[in-house]
Amino acid sequence: MRCTCLEEKLSVNCKESSLDVVPITLNPGIRELFLSNNLIKSISSSFSFYTHLSILDLSSNQISSLHKKNFQHQRNLQLLILSGNRLTHLTNESFTGLDSLRSLNLAENSLTTLTSRTFTGLTKLEKLDLSRNTINEISDEAFYGLNSLKWLSLRSNQLTSVPSIALYLVPSLSLLDLGHNSLTSLVDNGFASLARLTDLRLDLCSISSIATSFAHGMVNLKRLHLDGNELETIESHFFNDITSLEELFIGANKFTTIKDYTFHSLGNSLISLDIRNARELINFHPNALHGLTKLTRLTIEYCPKLTSLPSQLFKDSQGSMRELRIRSNGLTSLPNSLLTHWTQLTVFDVRDNHWNCNCSILWLWKYLRKVNGNSFTNRNTNNNNNLSSLPTESITFSDLICFSPQPLSGKRLTSLSPDDDIDCSNPNSTSTLIVVSLIVGLIMIITIALMVLWCRTRLPLILLRHKKFTNNLTEEFVYEKGRFIENQVMFPPSSSPYHPHPLHHQPHLEQHRHQSDQFNTSHRHPNYHSTSPYHPSSSLIIIQSPVKMGPISQV
**Rounded to an integer, what distance in angstroms lies between the CA atom of residue 122 and that of residue 82?**
16
232-251: b (≥16 Cβ within 10 Å) or e? eebeeebbebbeebbbbbbb
- Nearest of 519, 517, 522, 518 to residue 535 by alpha carbon: 517
**Rounded to an integer, what distance in angstroms lies between the CA atom of residue 236 and that of residue 264?**
7
- Would you state the pLDDT for residue 337? 76
pLDDT at 388 over 80: no
| Widest Cα–Cα separation across the chain | 173
Residue ranges of the domains in the chain?
1-155, 473-555
Q: Give the pLDDT mean for 148-154.
A: 98
- Nearest of 292, 210, 299, 303 to residue 252 by alpha carbon: 303
pLDDT tens, 332-359? 988 877 766 777 888 888 889 998 888 8
In the chain, the amino acid numbered 217 is G
- Would you state the pLDDT for residue 466? 64
CA angle at residue 349 from 346 to 354, to 5 degrees?
155
pLDDT tens, 411-446? 887 777 776 667 665 545 556 667 778 898 889 998
What global pTM score does this model have?
Answer: 0.73
- Would you state the pLDDT for residue 236? 94
pLDDT at 390 over 80: no
Sorted by sequence, the CB contacts under 8 Å of residue 478 that are 6+ apart come out as: 485, 540, 541, 542, 543, 549
- Would you state the pLDDT for residue 181? 98
Backbone angles phi, psi at 519, to 5 degrees: -65, -45
SS (H, E, C) 19-43: CCCCCCCCCCCCCEEECCCCCCCCC
Check residues 338 and 186 and name the one with the higher pLDDT: 186
CA angle at residue 49 from 45 to 53, to 5 degrees?
100
How much of the chain is helix, strand and coil, in % rounded to 5? 20, 15, 65
3-state secondary structure of 258: strand
pLDDT at 212 over 80: yes
pLDDT tens, 73-86? 999 999 999 999 99
Q: Give the pLDDT mean for 435-461.
A: 82
- Would you state the pLDDT for residue 1? 62
In the chain, the amino acid numbered 536 is P
Task: Please count the other Cβ atoms lying within 10 Å of the Cβ belonging to residue 37.
Answer: 16
pLDDT at 508 over 60: no
- Would you state the pLDDT for residue 413? 76
Pick the CATH number of 1-155 from 3.40.630.30, 1.10.599.10, 1.10.10.10, 3.80.10.10: 3.80.10.10
Check residues 466 and 503 and name the one with the higher pLDDT: 466
- Would you state the pLDDT for residue 471? 61
- Would you state the pLDDT for residue 419? 62
**Rounded to an integer, what distance in angstroms lies between the CA atom of residue 275 and that of residue 263?**
13
Quote the radius of gyration of the chain (alpha carbons, Å). 49
**Rounded to an integer, what distance in angstroms lies between the CA atom of residue 21 and that of residue 544?**
135
Check residues 536 and 287 and name the one with the higher pLDDT: 287
Check residues 43 and 360 and name the one with the higher pLDDT: 43
pLDDT at 459 over 90: no
Provide, rounded to the nearest whole percent, the portion of the chain with pLDDT above 90: 55
- Would you state the pLDDT for residue 244? 97
Provide, rounded to the nearest whole percent, the portion of the chain with pLDDT above 70: 74
Element (H, E) at 113: strand 113-114
Backbone angles phi, psi at 12, to 5 degrees: -125, 130
In the chain, the amino acid numbered 472 is N
pLDDT tens, 286-331? 999 999 999 999 999 999 999 999 999 999 998 899 999 999 999 9
In the chain, the amino acid numbered 340 is T
Element (H, E) at 457: helix 429-474
- Would you state the pLDDT for residue 434? 77
pLDDT tens, 11-62? 999 999 999 999 988 999 999 999 999 999 998 778 888 999 999 999 999 9
pLDDT tens, 219-234? 999 999 999 999 999 9
- Would you state the pLDDT for residue 493? 46
Cα 381 to Cα 166, 312, 362, 386, distances in angstroms: 64, 21, 9, 10
Check residues 517 and 120 and name the one with the higher pLDDT: 120
- Would you state the pLDDT for residue 348? 84
What residues form DSSP beta bridges with 55? 32, 79
- Would you state the pLDDT for residue 405? 85
pLDDT at 514 over 70: no
Least confident of 253-262, 379-388, 428-437: 379-388
**Rounded to an integer, what distance in angstroms lies between the CA atom of residue 95 and that of residue 122?**
8
Torsion of CA 423, 424, 429, 432, to 10 degrees: 120
**Rounded to an integer, what distance in angstroms lies between the CA atom of residue 532 and that of residue 495?**
15
Check residues 513 and 320 and name the one with the higher pLDDT: 320
**Rounded to an integer, what distance in angstroms lies between the CA atom of residue 487 and that of residue 502?**
22
